[in-house]
Amino acid sequence: MQNPPAEPLGSAFSFDDLRRYPDVEAANLFASDAADRLILDTAAPALAASAPGETIVIGDHYGALALGAAAVHGVRRLRVHQDALAGERALANNASGLGLAGAYVSLDLGAELLEGARIVLLHLPRSLDALDEIAEAIARFAAADVAIYAGGMAKHLTIAMNDVLGRHFDEVRAGLARQKARVLTVSSVGRVTSAHSTWPRREFHSDLDLWVCAHGAAFAGTKIDIGTRLLLEVLAQARPDAASAIDLGCGTGVIAAALAKARPGIAVLATDQSAGAVASARATMTANGLADRVTVVRDDALSARPDASAELILLNPPFHIGAAVHAGAALKLFEDAARVLEPGGELWTVWNSHLAYKAALSRLVGPTRQVARNAKFTVTASTRR
C-alpha cells in the first residue's frame, strides 16, 4: 500500500511557517534550511513510491524534514529520532499546528526506530562520532535495501563524513550543491553490519579516578573538557553543606559523578536535553557505581523542576544552538537556573573568559563572584537574590 496523495495540505505547507519554539528564537536563527529542502527533493521519487512506516527521519532540527515529508509527499507512519529535546518539542508544536501530530512517532536511536526502514532522511550532525553511531545503527537494523539521504549546509560538511559513512556502507555518492546545501546518497550495497553496537565508548581517567562513557552525540566524547576540569578543581568549595545539587547540561555526567563521589551524602540530579548525553551520563553513573546516587533525566533546561527548589546548580553552558554559535543557549539556562534556585542558592558556572558572562549572571541570577580563572576559563558563583 502506498502513502496517500499529499493534497490539499501540501499546497498549504510552508517551511517559513515552522517555529523553533521552545528552542531559542531570534531574527538570525531559522527553523529550516536549504539542506532540509534539498534532502526532501532528492528523496522525492523514493518517497512517492514508499509505503507507510518505511521512512525514518533522523536529526530533524525543528520538524522541517518530517513535516515536509508528511505534508508535501504524503508520507505517513514516520519514525523520527532527534537528539535535542527542544527540537522534539518544536516538531510536536509545529505538527499539531498543521494537524499532523498523528503522522509520526518519536523514538530513541535503535531497533524500534530503524527496523524495516527503507528510506532514511538524515540531517547530518556536526559531530563525526554522532554520525558514526547513527550510521552503525542504520546498518544494523534497517531493511536490506535501505537508502539514506544525508544532507547539510556545505559549510558544515567535511570529507571525513564520507569516510564515516563509508565505514558502514560501500556506496556514498555526493550530489550537486544547491543554495549552499549538499546531499550524500548512501545505498546499502555492501554494508557492514555488526552484531553489537560499539557505542557508548568508555575511558578511565586515573587522575580523577573516574570512568567517562560517551555516545556519539555527547559533548567532548570520553574526554574531559578543559573548562570542566577547572570547575572540578574548585568543586569542593561549592556549598559544601548542600544536601542536593543539579548538574545542568550534564553531557556525559562528569561533574555529577565527581560531585557524588566526593560527597557520599549528597543527592544529585543530572539533566540534559540531548538523548545521547542522557544515555551517556546513565552509563557513566553505572560504570562508577553511582547509578543509585545520581538521577539522570532528559529535560529542556530545567522545565520539569519547580521554582525556588534547588540549593546548588553546576553548569558548563553550551555556546552552540545546533550549528549556530549563539549566546542565547547559555542565557536560557542561566534564566531557568535563576527560577529554580531557592533564595540564597548558588549557580556555579564555568565559561570561556572572552564570553564575559559575569554581567548576564549578575543580572539574571544575582551577585556573582569570580572563584577561579586560568588562561582560558573563568569559574563564577552566583547567589540567588
Ligand X SMILES: C[S@@+](CC[C@H](N)C(=O)[O-])C[C@H]1O[C@@H](n2cnc3c(N)ncnc32)[C@H](O)[C@@H]1O
CB of 2 to ligand X, least distance (A): 38
CB of 252 to ligand X, least distance (A): 6
Nearer residue to ligand X within complex by CB, 118 or 326? 326
CB of 230 to ligand X, least distance (A): 10
The DSSP code sequence of 222-290 is: TS--HHHHHHHHHGGGS-TT-SEEEEET-TTTHHHHHHHHH-TT-EEEEEESBHHHHHHHHHHHHHTT-
Using the Cα atoms of residue 162, residue 174, residue 54 and residue 18 in order, give the sign of their dihedral: positive
Nearer residue to ligand X within complex by CB, 127 or 162? 127
Nearer residue to ligand X within complex by CB, 185 or 382? 382
Contact 304, 272 (CB under 8 A): no
DSSP state of 381: E
CB of 329 to ligand X, least distance (A): 5
Collapse the DSSP code of 338 into the 3-class scheme (helix H, G, I; strand E, B; otherwise coil) and give the result: helix
Nearer residue to ligand X within complex by CB, 74 or 318? 318
CB of 249 to ligand X, least distance (A): 3
H helix runs in 32-173, sequence order:
34-48, 64-73, 85-97, 111-114, 128-141, 159-168
CB of 297 to ligand X, least distance (A): 10
CB of 358 to ligand X, least distance (A): 18
Nearer residue to ligand X within complex by CB, 220 or 291? 220
Nearer residue to ligand X within complex by CB, 294 or 329? 329
Collapse the DSSP code of 111 into the 3-class scheme (helix H, G, I; strand E, B; otherwise coil) and give the result: helix
Nearer residue to ligand X within complex by CB, 50 or 288? 288
Using the Cα atoms of residue 351, residue 355, residue 357 and residue 360 in order, give the sign of their dihedral: negative
Contact 74, 4 (CB under 8 A): yes
DSSP state of 291: T
Nearer residue to ligand X within complex by CB, 42 or 284? 284
CB of 203 to ligand X, least distance (A): 13
* 273/345 Cα distance (integer angstroms): 23
* 268/291 Cα distance (integer angstroms): 10
Q: Which of 373, 312, 324, 318 is nearest to 348 (CA)?
A: 312
Nearer residue to ligand X within complex by CB, 185 or 273? 273
CB of 57 to ligand X, least distance (A): 20
* 305/340 Cα distance (integer angstroms): 7
Q: Which of 24, 110, 14 is nearest to 61 (CA)?
A: 24
Please state at what angle helix 254-262 crosses helix 275-287, rounded to 10 degrees.
Answer: 30
Q: Where along the sequence are the contacts to ligand X (CB under 6 A)?
A: 86, 219-220, 225, 228, 249-252, 254-255, 272-274, 277, 300-301, 316, 318, 329, 332
